[in-house]
């Protein structure tokens, strides 16, 4: 089964959105922020990208539902008025109701049957606001299995490990069985990417969230020491972490669960998961279980995330297991 048309339309939509974000990210209007009921920020950029991509997807594939992060709820009433007006200017030809409708085309619940898209319009909104990294993350899931992943990373440089320098802005994509690719946002130059070739965990560069709970940093610090890793970790927002692992800048992405009952959203992982796997890497939860995208909007069957270059996956899992059991004995 090939997903040629979905890949073409998805890539066009993400590239268009990523270019628009790159162009407008410095404008204060584009960074206008509201806060959701859970206290997390959502910006004009989030709503704009969700409306734009949902519109493009549903024009070409009216029958494929979309599971997206945002809903139009925040935009209702007085507090949403400013953003509704800005959206009208960014999406000419659409009235306010049509824009809200486009955003709410993302209200599907997902599951294990048939095809659906999952979209995080701005993954890493905190990173976007702090002028760090963020990603536009789109994936296609069929019968519970991720078959296509696309990540737009407007602020990402050519080598995250070695810091700034070089032209920034990339789109990554991977279709099941077809490898992973990186495309420059400025001129569309496409190259195949693969994970790092290191064979010893001690040689790994670890990657983790830029804003993780302290407990996560403590935990990953223990894993690093256990594995004799000497390199400083790369801390980065969003699924850009998967992208830099997929092209070999880093070799481990560890995301420990912050609490027992914490469940990850599918749109925070599906695209990156596909890009790492097709680049030769391995992605499981932090106990080694495969990720199950078939059970709704969250990864209800999984706890935490571990992505590696594949070769060192078992070694890192052993380190996680030992560290967890030590903690249990101590606590
Ligand atoms: P990121 O996906 O790295 O951009 O992180 C996005 C948000 O997820 C952060 O701002 C945190 O609130 C939360 N977060 C970061 N690290 C973890 C973690 N290890 N487990 C769960 N949530 C996390
Ligand atoms: Mg988001």
For 127-145, write each residue's pLDDT tens digit.
999 999 999 999 999 999 9
Q: What is the mean pLDDT of the chain?
A: 96
CA distance 21 to 89: 15
171 plus 219 within the same structural domain: no
pLDDT-derived band at 162 (thresholds 50, 70, 90) equals: confident
Last residue of one domain, picked from the residues 153, 169, 193: 193
Percent of the chain at pLDDT > 70 equals: 100
114 plus 11 within the same structural domain: yes
* The two structure tokens encoding residue 175: 């279709």
Of 258 and 45, more confident:
45
160 plus 31 within the same structural domain: yes
249 plus 121 within the same structural domain: no
pLDDT digits (tens, 9 = 90+) for 170-192: 999 999 999 999 999 999 999 99
Query: Could you list the residue range(s) of the whole structural domain that residue 73 is in?
Result: 4-193
Is the pLDDT confidence value at 165 over 90?
no
Task: Collect all residues with Cβ–Cβ distance below 8 Å to 230 and sequence separation of at least 6.
Answer: 202
DSSP letter (8 states) at residue 78: G
Number of compact structural domains in the chain? 2
pTM for the predicted model, two decimal places: 0.97
pLDDT digits (tens, 9 = 90+) for 75-104: 999 989 999 999 999 999 999 999 999 999
210 plus 240 within the same structural domain: yes
Which residues' Cβ are closer than 6 Å to ligand 1?
Answer: 124, 126-127, 209, 211-212, 216, 237-238, 255-258, 262, 268
150 plus 182 within the same structural domain: yes
Q: Give CA angle at 178 (174, 184), nearest 5°.
A: 45
Q: What spacing in Å lies between the alpha carbon of 241 and ligand 1's midpoint?
A: 12
Give the model's pLDDT for residue 27.
97
Is the pLDDT confidence value at 331 over 70?
no
* The two structure tokens encoding residue 220: 């990953």
Catalytic residues: 46, 125
123 plus 238 within the same structural domain: no
């Amino acid at each position: 089964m090939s997903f040629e048309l979905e890949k073409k339309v998805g890539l066009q939509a993400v590239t268009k959105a990523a270019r628009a974000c790159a162009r407008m990210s410095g404008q204060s209007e584009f960074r206008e922020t509201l806060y959701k009921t859970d206290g997390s920020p959502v910006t004009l950029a989030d709503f704009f990208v969700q409306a734009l991509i949902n519109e493009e997807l549903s024009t070409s594939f009216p029958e494929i539902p979309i599971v997206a992060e945002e809903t139009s709820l925040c935009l209702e009433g007085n507090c949403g008025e400013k953003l509704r007006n800005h959206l009208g200017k960014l999406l000419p030809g659409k009235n306010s109701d049509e824009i809200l409708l486009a955003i709410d085309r993302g209200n599907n619940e997902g599951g294990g049957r048939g095809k659906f898209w999952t979209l995080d319009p701005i993954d890493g909104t905190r990173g976007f606001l702090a002028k760090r990294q963020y990603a536009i993350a789109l994936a296609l899931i069929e019968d519970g299995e991720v078959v296509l992943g696309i990540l737009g990373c407007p602020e990402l440089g050519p080598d995250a490990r070695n810091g700034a320098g070089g032209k920034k802005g990339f789109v990554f994509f991977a279709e099941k069985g077809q490898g992973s690719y990186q495309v420059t946002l400025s001129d569309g130059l496409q190259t195949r990417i693969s994970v790092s070739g290191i064979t010893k965990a001690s040689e790994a560069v670890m990657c983790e969230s830029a804003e993780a709970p302290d407990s996560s940093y403590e935990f990953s610090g223990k894993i690093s020491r256990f594995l004799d890793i000497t390199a400083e970790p790369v801390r980065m927002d969003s699924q850009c972490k998967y992208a830099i692992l997929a092209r070999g800048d880093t070799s481990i992405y560890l995301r420990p669960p912050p609490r027992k009952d914490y469940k990850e959203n599918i749109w925070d992982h599906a695209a990156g998961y596909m890009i790492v796997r097709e680049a030769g890497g391995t992605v499981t939860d932090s106990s080694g279980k495969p990720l199950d995208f078939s059970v709704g909007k969250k990864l209800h069957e999984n706890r935490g995330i571990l992505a590696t270059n594949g070769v060192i996956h078992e070694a890192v899992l052993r380190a996680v297991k030992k560290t967890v059991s030590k903690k249990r004995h101590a606590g």
